[in-house]
Chain A
Amino acid sequence: MSATTISKTGVSAAKPAETKVYRRDHNINWWLTAVVAVLSLTVLIPLYFTVVTALKTPADAGTFALPTTWNWHNFADAWAKVNYPKAALNSAIITVASVALTLLTNTFVAYAIARNMDKRFFRFLYYFFIAAMFVPFPVIMLPLAKQMGALHLDNQLGLIILYMTLGLGTNLFIATGFIRSIPISLEEAARIDGASTWTIFWKIIFPLMGPINATIAILTALWAWNDFLMPLIVLTDQSNQTIPLAQYVFSSQFATNYPMAFASYLMAMAPILVVYVFAQKWVVGSVMRGAVK
């Protein structure tokens, strides 16, 4: 439901400007289109290279040419060698749980702070969370690795907690402005009808936060799925490996069979690329909304 409303607002925001341009002046700048098209090859060629290399024999690899023999079993080999299903499942669990918990918790923290910014305590909390955006992860990673081990959180659960917690500063930054733009009269009407603050939040505010929730969800999902450093220092057990971590271990062990390695890289990228192909308009619109904040 929220998906459709977002794509609609995203389109309507961009449309008026475009139609105006076309009306004023019908000619399309084909020279500039050509330049943009040529430059887009810098994005597409590495992807093309990944696909063709994944389908070659080791002797064939190393050029941009199409494969002479299509070596499909690279995928089967990589699937087994990297233990792809296990890594993909771990990444999926961590990503889904992190997104869900981030949405369910970070939003009400943002709500409580956004609605009480005139109170000294909540203003302090705001800066308490935001200040952490200036503490880069490398600064805390060594003690954090030790602490996660000591708390027996050197596993998926630990990572989920970290994604939910360490993203709070950014999410707060994205969400508070939006919440403050929601008219308070809505809440007051509900309060007069006897609704509690929690009810007001879940029934009125949270649904209204749809677009910002989409932004937070996408940023969190991309972070949790693609992150390498945090799993690297937190996870200790091989069986808990996420996809990027599995690629890291794999590429240090089987570095010479490039087509098989590329098959595994392609499988690592595929899930997010497939989602992106189908939801690109929505993804781009949501990330852009987060950027403007």
Chain B
Amino acid sequence: MTSSSTSAVASSRPAKKPRKSAFSGRKVDRAFYWMAVPAALIFAVFLYVPFIRGVAYSFTNSQGFGDYKWIGLKNYGALFKDNRVGHAYVFTFLLAVIITLLINVIAMFLAVALNSRIAFKNGFRAIYFIPYTLGVLVIGYVFKYIFMAPLPAIGKALGIGWLSQSLLTSESYSWVPIVFLSVWQGVAYSVLIYLAGLQTIDDEIYEAASLDGVNAWQNFWKITFPLIGPFFTINLVLSFKNAFNTFDQVVALTDGGPDSKTETVTYLIWKGGLTGGEYAYQTANAVLFFIVLAIIAFIQLRISNAQEKV
């Protein structure tokens, strides 16, 4: 709704705007510079400068303090031979894929349900949004205890083998609580995006479809889903980006264990870089992380562009 009016305003703008000539900087324009340029400088100091410094450190053997020297690409060479780092990347990627899929399937279902003819609509909407307002770390500690004590007790009572001991310390299932917490928290925001998308669909489309005898399943796949396509793309990108940076969940639930099985890349950068004396090595890891993310973002963009053309 706003996008069309926005672009209309934008296209009519250039003609109206006071032109700034080459020598006489007009007063109005100077105020605009005062608004934006200091912010850009501060922004550069706290974002681009650390970024560039990080790249520079990645070519050194610094421990975060004291003397260091340039060692070229040695950190990067070591990264590719480091099994712990390799595992963290694979783990983070798989985690992000599972979390993104689950969040979007669940959120899509909930949004459609919350948008249909149910009672206490606004009340449920408010309840489902609660997780977004809570800090991941704190609610993560709550879930840690739930996974430690009551859940195994229930598992034992029901005779479910894999559930009767704590999932957190299990070699093969310790990722489950991390996924659960991320999905539990991430669904809230995605539901809102889908709800916003669903409200852009005109009811008359469904009325017309119901005259043609369309069932609920077809309603969703032939009408609803295609029409909220852009919101689906936004949600995929956002939830994947969040899941790829998973950190609080790991600190709260597993501390990377058991046996470094649940270390995400962010966790490894923090752990090795600030407490493990691998400062320069982990800045190299951070640079690699950035490159990997850039490649993923590029692929995501290409895919969503291709979809839009079809």
Contact = CB atoms under 8 A, between A and B. Distances in A.
Interface of A: 13-14, 17-18, 20-22, 24-25, 27-30, 32-33, 35-37, 39-40, 42-44, 46-47, 49-50, 53, 61-64, 105-106, 108-109, 111-113, 115-119, 122, 125, 128-129, 132, 134-147, 161-162, 165-166, 168, 177-178, 180-181, 183-184, 188, 191, 196-198, 201, 222, 225-229, 232-233, 243-244, 247-248, 251, 258, 261-262, 265, 268-269, 272-273, 276, 280-281, 283-284, 287-288, 291-292
B196 A292 contact: yes
Contacts of A140: 47, 50-51, 54, 286
Nearest to A185: B16
Interface residues of B, number: 99
Given A112-B32, A143-B54, A272-B133, 8 more contacts: A29-B116, A29-B118, A32-B113, A115-B17, A122-B36, A180-B13, A184-B9, A226-B136
Nearest to B12: A184
B305 interface: no
Nearest to A153: B46
B71 interface: no
Contacts, number: 283
B125 interface: yes
Contacts of A180: 6, 9-10, 13
A142 B274 contact: yes
B120 to A, nearest CB: 7
Given A14-B199, A37-B124, A165-B42, A42 B138 contact: no
Given A109-B39, A118-B17, A262-B145, A32 B122 contact: no
Contact of B273 (A42, A61, A142): A142
A143 B53 contact: yes
B196 to A, nearest CB: 5
A129 B129 CA distance: 29
B40 interface: yes
A148 B126 CA distance: 38
Contact of B142 (A29, A46, A132, A283): A46
* Nearest 7 pairs of A and B residues by beta carbon: A226-B135, A197-B31, A62-B149, A112-B35, A143-B50, A143-B53, A138-B266
Nearest to A11: B122
A10 B138 CA distance: 31
Interface stretch (B77-85, B168-176, B245-253): B245-253
A55 to B, nearest CB: 14
B167 interface: no
Contacts of A201: 35
Contacts of A22: 117
Interface string B2-43: 110110011001101100100000011101110110011011
A146 B14 CA distance: 44
B9 A181 contact: yes
Contact of B46 (A30, A49, A162, A227): A162
B2 A147 contact: no
Contact of B47 (A18, A53, A132): A132
